[in-house]
Amino acid sequence: MHQIVETRAETSRRWWVLAIVVSAQFLFGVDAFIVNVAIPTIAAELHATPAQIEAVIAIYLIAYATLVVTGGRLGDIYGARDVFIAGVAGFSVTSLWCGLAQSGPELILARLAQGATAALMVPQVLATLHLLFSDAARARAFGIYGIVLGLAGVTGFALGGALVTLDLAGLGWRAVFFVNVPFGAVIIAAALKIMPIAPRRAGTRLDIPGAVVLFVGLLCLIGPLLFGHDLNWTAWLWLVIAAGVAVIAAFVRLERSIARRGGMPLIDLSLLSDGAFMRGLVAVFFFFFANLSFYLVMTMFMQKGLKIPPLQAGLVFVPLALTFVVASRHSGARAKHRGTLVLIEGCAVQIVGLAVLVATVQVLAAPPSLLLALVLMIFGYGQGLVMAPLSSAVLSSVKPASAGAGSGMYGTTTQIGNAAGVAAIGAVFFAVESATSARLALFAACALFVLSIIISAAFLSWMRRATA
């Protein structure tokens, strides 16, 4: 009888732990979308160039993508609880710095630090879910995770527009960063009380050389995409990109060398031989390539092209985010019966949504906000069908001992995709806009979104065959 009560207590506790870690994921998600809505206002007040606008978003993602594998590995070494708490504390402090920034370059630097601290916090979320929910409750736990992603979008869009418009205490856009601080403090207090302390692994070390080489490689690959337009795409930028490819290749060789010497490489090399996992990561990259870049392009198009105010522009996205939540609920149940096929269906729905959006904008010179909101719901439903079960599907072949490393690689791939999309598609949008019009710029961006989603669907199908 005592054992039954204890088992029930442990089961109840893991759901409380789930609530804590997904609250941090919620904070991370809100920050991504709340900044998107505030970007035009930030650009106007800080006199930021288009490249700096992209960098405010992308540099955060680059820092996160560069260090999230390290964050996942730190969780494996020192325990998810301690690393999670350190990440939330750092995220809160750097959010305060972002809100106090006085120039575009300072905000970019603060966002770099904020992304680095997020890389400590977020990998522990998926790793904790992966370890605590290996039974029949796994689908429900990941379904809750997907719903939280959608609610973060709703909150981010609505809150971002409201804070910028209301200009509380004269803070304006700065409030979108300050809001993270009190919520971070609550999450830390709850984690200290409820999250179990995981034992540290003896005799393990962090792969610092690997982390440095990965940082340099990703910076060389994505940096030129951000500032290429400002630098007129000089020849040396292409040389930097080529150097980035070489550095990433050298990174893999370095990791193999560390493993041969008996060290602990930054990535779990056994995952590289998992065909389904690697194909899944490619699908993840192209899916997220068309993720945050879509919201950046739509935000700029609505506020600059259609002259829609920030609050109204933010509210346009709210039905999309709510539809995302509904789709997340549906996708969990559908994935049980249809497996990864539901992911491919979600990609198809996104493409339909983009086609309807382009048709609407081409037919109507000034489409009303309500109509845009209804059209965007199609895209949001497709995203929800994919994103909620995507992490579970890709990580399903990862062993529990490599949960931190696997979730870290997943997180790296998502943010490399997001950053590359913001840089590349953002550059195309701004270039076409300056040369022709915002309407044609949106059309060009949507064509790239469709191409990226098609590639993602192809690799998801390939992953599905490998799993079968």
Comparison of pLDDT for 38 and 5, the residue scoring more? 38
**φ, ψ at 85 (rounded to 5°):** -65, -40
Nearest to 292 by CA among 61, 49, 113, 68: 61
d(CA 451, CA 453) in angstroms, rounded, equals 6
Between 309 and 270, the more confident residue is: 309
Contact at 8 Å (CB) between 310 and 302?
no
Q: Return the closest-CA partner of residue 29 out of 143, 131, 160.
A: 160
Mean pLDDT over residues 320-337, rounded?
74
Per-residue pLDDT at 372: 93
Instruction: Please report which confidence band the pLDDT of residue 355 belongs to, taking 50, 70 and 90 as the band edges.
Output: very high
CB 185 within 8 A of CB 90: no
Q: What is the pLDDT of residue 92?
A: 94
CA 45/CA 105 separation, integer angstroms: 13
Could you give the CA distance from residue 9 to residue 237 in angstroms, rounded to a whole number? 58
Task: Note the pLDDT of residue 357.
Answer: 95
Average pLDDT, the chain: 83
Cβ atoms of 267 and 398 closer than 8 Å: no
Q: 106-115: string of b/e by CB count within 10 Å (b at 16+)? A: ebbebbbbbb
Q: Is residue 336 very low, low, confident or very high in pLDDT (cuts 50, 70, 90)?
A: low
243 three-class SS: helix
Residues sharing a CB contact under 8 Å with residue 86, sequence separation 6 or more, in sequence order: 120
Task: Specify whether the backbone of 165 is left (phi greater than 0), alpha (psi in -120 to 50) or beta.
Answer: alpha
Show the tokens assigned to 366.
Answer: 């000034």
Whether 443 has a pLDDT exceeding 80, the answer reads yes
254 touches 216 (CB < 8 A) = no
Overall pTM surpassing 0.85 (yes/no): no
Q: pLDDT band at residue 315, thresholds of 50, 70 and 90?
A: confident
pLDDT tens string 133-167: 766 677 778 778 777 876 787 788 788 888 888 87
Mean pLDDT over 3-21 rounds to 65
pLDDT number for residue 4: 41
**What is the longest distance spanned by two Cα atoms in the chain?**
74
Closest CA to 265 of 213, 304, 311: 213
pLDDT digits (tens, 9 = 90+) for 264-308: 777 777 788 777 888 889 999 999 999 888 988 998 899 888 888
Place 6 in a pLDDT band, splitting at 50, 70 and 90: very low
Judge whether residue 409 has pLDDT over 50: yes
| 209 touches 76 (CB < 8 A) | no
DSSP-based helix, strand, coil % in the chain, nearest 5: 85, 0, 15
According to the model, what pLDDT value does residue 335 have? 60
CA atoms within 13 A on the CB side of 26: 19
